[in-house]
């Protein structure tokens, strides 16, 4: 990973700063605690390459230690989100790999989703236009999804002779839109319109295209200004409790909440309430 200037500063608590990170295969900027990550190949509808997959994986892993990033906006340049794996840069070369090479690739793409789910910052996907294949998975792996009516989301793996089970789709998608609807999209590979995606719960809201990125950034800024340690705990519990029974989940949440009660943000909120003021959270 490249940083400007030099290497990231190592801070107390095993944290670093990512504001100076210079991405090689997409755009990345940090402002007001919000990182905006823009897939930036608009002439090809922002497809992914071997290199961009790997850099995205490494960046989301690094976000777990980024003290200056409180929320992330994930979007695409131009009028599209992401068309998935590049046909020429990925699909073609994959047909020439042996099985171990193919497995190394599919594990690497899965590691990107794992990194997204395990980074503590909420990820807000701003989805316009084409959102297909691995691009649809990037949106799915985000915590919040804002779309447009003209967007088209397709888990089109079966259309190229692959299983709909890719990068965690069979686990994540049913939890977002329900088993039957997920099965339909994963079996058929058909496109889901923006209005349908909102109705099914895939999109949290639908925006006008020209207002989409501002809406996503405003949402992210609201989270970044909030109790970010608690947001990270919320994200962790949302993910962790998928494999728990109710009793285990209640105990896990008791422990998580007790930890949050020991934070300064919890005390700030109390004193602000007593003073009839709005709390100013600092994420500690």
Residue 196 has pLDDT above 90, yes or no: yes
Backbone angles phi, psi at 146, to 5 degrees: -110, 135
pLDDT at 13: 61
In this predicted structure, what is the pLDDT of residue 152? 98
Per the prediction, the chain carries an average pLDDT of 92
**Confidence (pLDDT) at 23:** 94
pLDDT in tens, 10-34: 555 667 889 889 999 999 999 999 9
Q: Are 216 and 196 in contact (CB under 8 A)?
A: no
pLDDT-wise least confident of 93-102, 129-138, 203-212: 93-102
Which pLDDT score is estimated for 90?
83
Query: How many angstroms separate the CA atoms of 57 and 53, rounded?
Result: 6
Residue range 85-111: average pLDDT?
Answer: 87
Cα–Cα distance for residue pair 191/169, rounded to 1 Å: 15
Average pLDDT of the segment spanning 30-59: 96
Least confident of 4-13, 68-77, 132-141, 180-189: 4-13
Whether the ω angle into residue 224 lies within 30 degrees of 0, i.e. cis, is no
Give the per-residue SS3 of 50-85: HHHHHHHHHHHHHHCCECCCCEEEEEECCCCCECCE
Give the residue-averaged pLDDT of 96-101: 89
| Neighbouring C-beta atoms of residue 32, cutoff 10 Å | 12
Chain position carrying tokens 């046909």: 87
Per residue in 254-278, pLDDT (tens digit) is: 999 999 999 999 999 999 999 999 9
Which residues lie below 8 Å from residue 252, measured CB to CB, with a gap of 6+?
Answer: 237, 240, 241, 244
Whole-number pLDDT of residue 4: 42
pLDDT higher than 80, residue 6: no
Tokens of 166: 């890719």
HSE value, Cβ hemisphere, 13 Å, CA-based, for 67: 12
């Amino acid at each position: 990973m490249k940083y400007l200037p030099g290497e990231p500063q190592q801070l107390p608590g095993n944290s670093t700063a990512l504001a100076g990170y210079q991405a090689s295969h997409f755009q990345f900027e940090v402002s007001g605690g919000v990182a905006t990550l823009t897939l930036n190949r608009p002439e090809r509808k922002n497809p992914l390459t071997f290199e961009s997959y790997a850099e995205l994986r490494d960046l989301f892993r690094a976000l777990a230690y980024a003290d200056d990033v409180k929320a992330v906006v994930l979007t695409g340049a131009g009028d599209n989100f992401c068309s998935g794996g590049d046909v020429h840069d990925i699909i073609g070369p994959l047909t020439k790999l042996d099985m171990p090479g193919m497995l190394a690739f599919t594990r690497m793409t899965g590691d990107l989703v794992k990194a997204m789910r395990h980074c503590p910052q909420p990820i807000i996907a701003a989805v316009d236009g084409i959102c297909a294949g691995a691009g649809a998975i990037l949106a799915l792996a985000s915590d919040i999804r804002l779309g447009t009516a003209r967007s088209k989301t397709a888990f089109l793996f079966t259309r190229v002779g692959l299983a709909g089970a890719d990068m965690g789709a069979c686990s994540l998608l049913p939890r977002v839109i329900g088993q039957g609807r997920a099965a339909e999209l994963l079996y058929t590979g058909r496109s889901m319109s923006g209005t349908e995606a909102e109705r099914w719960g895939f999109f949290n809201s639908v925006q006008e295209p020209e207002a989409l990125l501002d809406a996503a950034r405003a949402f992210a800024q609201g989270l970044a200004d909030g109790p970010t340690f608690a947001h990270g705990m919320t994200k962790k519990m949302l993910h962790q409790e998928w494999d728990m029974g109710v009793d285990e989940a209640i105990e896990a949440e008791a422990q998580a909440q007790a930890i949050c009660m020991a934070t300064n943000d919890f005390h700030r909120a109390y004193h602000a309430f007593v003073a009839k003021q709005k709390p100013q959270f600092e994420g500690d």
